[in-house]
Amino acid sequence: MKLFEHLHVQYSGDADNIKTECIWCGSDSLSADVEPPHQFQCWKCKQTGNAISYLRKWYENLPALTVQQAKLLCTLKKGIKPLTVRDVGIRFFDDHYWFPVYNQKNHLMAVHRYATDNNIWYSSPKPVSLTVLGLQNLSKSDTVWVCEGHPTTFVSYLRWPKQVLIF
């Protein structure tokens, strides 16, 4: 399943269902649909949800960046300060940096992954990677800054957090 592969989550299963560790209770009893929106349930703690709720819990479980991790990212991505990458909520796990993407209601909608070894950003797979985030919440008077690519998104988000659309 693309989402779990993107998140580096180990799983087993067949064409319809997969099994993996439950990130709520720690048992190995979480079963999820292979097809989007990846409805899941844990047979032990009874947690249910879909790709988005799984993604949010997965991200929430990651610790904040250490100073060293933030500094390392800033040596790889020039022009960004360590405090900035922490403020934006970037996390580090399994040798990758994880970049959260929020909608206008401040709900996590996607997590992009930056691989330090090949300098590539990987977008969350569908259905968690939306083409336009928050568009429905804009009023006629809003200024819209369209950002394409992660470096521009960084800068724009910090200057105009409520007016940035991420493609």
Q: What letter represents residue 47's amino acid?
A: Q
Residue located via tokens 């979480």: 30
CB of 1 to Zn ion, least distance (A): 18
Q: Report CA Rg, the chain.
A: 17
- Whether cis (ω within 30° of 0) applies to the bond prior to 37 is yes
**Binding residue for Zn ion (CB under 5 A) from 1, 7, 42, 73?**
42
Which is nearer to Zn ion, 24 or 122 (by Cβ)? 24
| Residue for token pair 């250490």 | 66
Decide: is 45 part of the binding site for Zn ion (CB under 5 A). yes
Query: What is the CB neighbour count within 10 angstroms for residue 2?
Result: 15
* 45 vs 88, beta carbon nearer Zn ion: 45
Render 64-116 in DSSP notation, one character per residue.
BPPHHHHHHHHHHSTT--HHHHHHTT-EEETTEEEEEEE-TTS-EEEEEEEET
9 binds Zn ion (CB under 5 A): no
Which residue, 52 or 165, is less far from Zn ion as judged by CB? 52
Number of shown-chain residues binding Zn ion (CB under 5 A): 6
Binder to Zn ion among 9, 11, 25, 156 (CB under 5 A)? 25
Contact flag: residue 22 with Zn ion (CB under 5 A): yes
Name the segment binding Zn ion (CB under 5 A); options: 4-12, 20-28, 58-66, 111-119.
Answer: 20-28
Where does this chain bind Zn ion (CB under 5 A)? 22, 24-25, 42, 44-45
